Amino acid sequence: MSQEQNLKIDYDLYITGFSLSKKSSELFVTDDFSLFIWNDTISKVEETETEENLLKFTIELSDSIGTINYYSKKEDSIFTRSVGLDEVHVVKEKRTVIAWELHPETKTIGKFTCNKASCTFRGRTYEVWYTPEIPVFYGPWKLHGLPGLVMEVKDKEDMLQAYFKKISRTDKDLVPYLSALQTGKIISIEEYAEIQRKLGDELVKKMKLSFPRELNMSIDGIKQDQLEREFN
């Protein structure tokens, strides 16, 4: 067997929620499974002071390992390593088959001819360009099952955007990622949904509690939006 047996696909991943953040992301494809690893290019827990001594907070949850999506066609469940506020969770969910809708449009990305497909998944509509010229079942994040590599992803509200950057062979040892998936409290997707829902309140609480007294503060409400919005 060749040393460089696995495929590695690099994407430019943008999460444009309240802040536009670019993540480094890598999709590893082996014969049996895929790993999608994404993390901040810069760490982003920031506290900045404005001219009136008003504090402004931004938080992105990440650690040195980052978020890992594990998917195997051979298993009934898929696993996600998720970095929470205080602890790391491994989310276990049933492997679902995405009902992709195929569209007649084609376009070229680099030298690859790509086809368009779309789906509705976890409360968002995704538009995807994939190329059958790279026969890979897997895609970034949880967007699997197309007859070719996913080259571009965009959800309708532009929260998630991924752009194919590079494909190469790799001999990178994936064991550390697999063992990272085995450390952390295993929770169900429903529990995960609940944690995500409470996250905003939790953060606002912490924020309020960390304000120095001299600061005049009021919070008009919490804007919260998650990549995954529906969990049924």
Partner 1 sequence: MTVLNKINLSGSLIDFLLMRSHLRNSLLLILAFLFIIEGVAQVKLSGTLTDPDSNPTPGIAVLLRPRDKDNVVAYTYSNEDGYYELTITRVGEYLLTHQGMGFKSQNRPIAVSSPTDKPIQQDFTLTPKVFELSEVEINAELPILIKEDTISINTKVFVDGTEEVAEDILRKLPGIEVSNDGSISVQGKPVEKVLVEGDDLFEKGYKLLTKNLNAGVIDKVEILEHFSDNPLLKNIQESDKVALNLTLKEDQKSTLFGNTSLGAGTEEFYEAKINLISFQEKSKYYLFANANNRGIDATGDIYQLVYPDIFTAATFVGDGESADRYLGITMPTPNLKQSQYKFNDAELVSFNSIFNPGKKIKLKAMGYFTSDENSYLSESIYQFDVPPITFTNTELYELRKYTQVGYAKLDALITLGKDQRLDYIGRFNKGDFRDRASLLFNATALQEEASVETKFTDQRMTYTRRIADKDAFQLTGRYIYDEKPERYDVNTFLYQELFPDQTNIEGIQQNNFNKLNFAGLEGTYILNRPRNYLELSAGMSSRNQHLKSDLLLRENNGDFQLVGGDFTNRLKIQLDDFYTKVRYKYSFRKFQLKADLALHQYTNIKEEAGTESKDTPFVLVPRLGFIWLPNKKLNFIASYKYDSSPIVARDQRPGFILTSYRHFGRGYATFELLPGSYWFTGLNYGGWADAFSLNASFFLNSNKEYLSTNSLVDSNYSLSEQILLDGKQFFGASVNMNQYLKNLSSSIRLKLSYNKNEYENIINNSDLRSLNIESFTYGGEFKSILTSSLDFNIGTEWVRSVVNSGTESVNLDNSSFLDLIWQPSGNFNISLKNERYYFGSLSSDNSFYFSDLETRYKVIPNKLTLHFLASNIWDTDSFRNYTINETGFNSTNFRLLPRYFFLKADYRF
148 lies in the site for partner 1, by CB under 8 A: yes
95 lies in the site for partner 1, by CB under 8 A: no
Residue 19 CB burial class (10 angstroms; 0-12, 13-18, ≥19): exposed
> What does the alpha-carbon distance between residue 23 and residue 36 come to, in Å, rounded to a whole number?
12
Among 147, 178, 188, 196, binds partner 1 (CB under 8 A): 147
125 lies in the site for partner 1, by CB under 8 A: no
Task: Indicate the residue among 186 and 215 with the shorter CB distance to partner 1.
Answer: 215
3 lies in the site for partner 1, by CB under 8 A: no
229 lies in the site for partner 1, by CB under 8 A: no
DSSP state, residue 95: -
Which 12-51 positions form the footprint of partner 1 (CB under 8 A)? 12, 14, 16, 18-21, 43-51
6 lies in the site for partner 1, by CB under 8 A: no
| Tokens read off for 56 | 């402004």
Neighbouring CB atoms inside 10 A of 90's CB total: 19
Nearest distance from C-beta of residue 203 to partner 1, angstroms: 7
Residue type, 23: K
DSSP state, residue 135: -
